[in-house]
């Protein structure tokens, strides 16, 4: 880093510096993970848990997710420089020094363990710690540059937050909690591959073997529809095993039918693949959020 860059970084106003550190945590991902954590708590409690417990769980979860994302940013800073969609992030653009980013990330991770362990329970803290290690090291360090199946295997990290929420509310895990995990685990590949179809050239440039870049777009589209079918099947399990009721089932069928429609169109309509990939990517976010909201509503109504 040049002396000019270092001087410019020192002269930045504190608000801009705070914004850079916030971006390092990837707040859009943190928000999604906190949503599934909250839903896990509400489903497990069949309603609203104590507000103090809710606050500490979400605070600890935010620190864990933000810390893991910051570690991911630290590890990927060299490849992020190469890719157009990531080159302006705080680390590759030189707005934050790597050493400072690492200290910030580790501080958030330790803080999350303290908050969850002493403020919630140690099962929630342990699950959160597993998520940090899984995402930052198993996925980012080991899998991401090794195999096109990186998203499939690494998807477990993003599927852990509802388990953290469930454990926070009950200090236990049951079959329905693991179905929440399985739904996100199977949702992650088609959601991510739809995005990868749009930015395939970036990953080729950085030599990262994401599925579309490594095996081609046709194979990626085939995998998307296969995992979409598995996902929709698993979303029916909470009803079949009497964890949730008819409101959830009807919603899951309708939401899943449209998900499969988009995935099938992406597979069969080759000429419009970019447009359909973007449509599936955006819908998949709304799909997961709506599905979990239906679970919350259904679980609360089952209690009454």
- 227-278 pLDDT tens trace: 999 999 999 999 998 889 999 999 999 999 999 999 999 998 877 788 999 9
Give the mean pLDDT of the chain. Answer: 91
Which residues span the domain enclosing 166? 15-173
Same domain, 259 and 293: yes
Per-residue HEC secondary structure of 212-267 comes to HHHHCHHHHHHHHHHHHHHHHHHHCHHHHCCCCCHHHHHHHHHHHHHHHHHHHHHH
pLDDT at 5 over 70: no
Of 152, 173, 194, the position where a domain reaches its end is 173
d(CA 260, CA 276): 12
pLDDT at 225 over 70: yes
Give alpha helix (H) positions in 46-160.
51-75, 77-82, 98-119, 122-133, 150-154
Q: What does each C-alpha distance from 55 to 9, 130, 297 come to in angstroms?
A: 34, 21, 21
Give the per-residue pLDDT at 2: 46
Give the per-residue pLDDT at 157: 92
Give the per-residue pLDDT at 303: 61
Q: How far is CA 159 from the centre of its chain?
A: 7
Same domain, 166 and 37: yes
End-to-end CA distance of the chain: 61
Give the per-residue pLDDT at 4: 41
Task: Please indicate whether residue 93 or residue 303 has the higher confidence score (pLDDT).
Answer: 93
Of all residues in the chain, the percent with pLDDT exceeding 90 is 71
Q: Is residue 9 part of a domain?
A: no
Same domain, 151 and 195: no
How many distinct structural domains can be found in the chain? 2
Same domain, 111 and 142: yes
Same domain, 77 and 130: yes
Please state which of the ranges 34-43, 125-134, 214-223 shows the lowest mean pLDDT. Answer: 214-223
Please state which of the ranges 15-19, 171-175, 222-226 shows the lowest mean pLDDT. Answer: 15-19
Q: Is residue 259 part of a domain?
A: yes
pTM of the model: 0.91
Q: Is residue 7 part of a domain?
A: no
pLDDT at 26 over 60: yes
């Amino acid at each position: 880093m040049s002396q000019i860059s270092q001087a410019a970084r020192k002269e930045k106003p504190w608000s801009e510096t705070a914004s850079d550190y916030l971006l390092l945590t990837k707040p859009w991902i943190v928000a999604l993970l906190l949503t599934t954590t909250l839903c896990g708590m509400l489903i497990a409690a069949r309603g609203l848990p104590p507000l103090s417990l809710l606050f500490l769980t979400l605070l600890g979860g935010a620190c864990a997710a933000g810390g893991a994302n910051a570690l991911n940013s630290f590890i990927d800073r060299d490849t992020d420089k190469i890719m157009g969609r990531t080159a302006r992030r705080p680390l590759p653009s030189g707005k934050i020094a790597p050493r400072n980013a690492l200290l910030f990330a580790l501080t958030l991770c330790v803080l999350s363990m303290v908050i969850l362990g002493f403020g919630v329970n140690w099962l929630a803290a342990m699950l959160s710690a597993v998520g940090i290690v899984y995402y930052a090291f198993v996925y980012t360090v080991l899998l991401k540059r090794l195999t096109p199946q990186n998203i499939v295997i690494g998807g477990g990290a993003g599927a852990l937050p509802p388990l953290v929420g469930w454990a926070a509310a009950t200090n236990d895990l049951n079959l329905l909690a693991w179905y929440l995990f399985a739904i996100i685990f199977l949702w992650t590949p088609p959601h991510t591959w739809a995005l990868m179809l749009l930015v395939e050239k970036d990953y080729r440039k950085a030599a990262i073997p994401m599925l579309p870049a490594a095996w081609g777009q046709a194979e990626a589209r085939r995998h998307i529809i296969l995992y979409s079918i598995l996902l929709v099947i698993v979303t029916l399990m909470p009803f079949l095993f009497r964890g949730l009721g008819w409101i959830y089932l009807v919603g899951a069928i309708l939401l899943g039918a449209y998900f499969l429609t988009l995935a099938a169109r992406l597979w069969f309509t080759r000429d419009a693949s970019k447009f359909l990939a973007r449509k599936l990517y955006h819908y998949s976010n709304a799909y997961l959020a709506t599905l979990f909201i239906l679970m919350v509503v259904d679980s609360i109504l089952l209690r009454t």
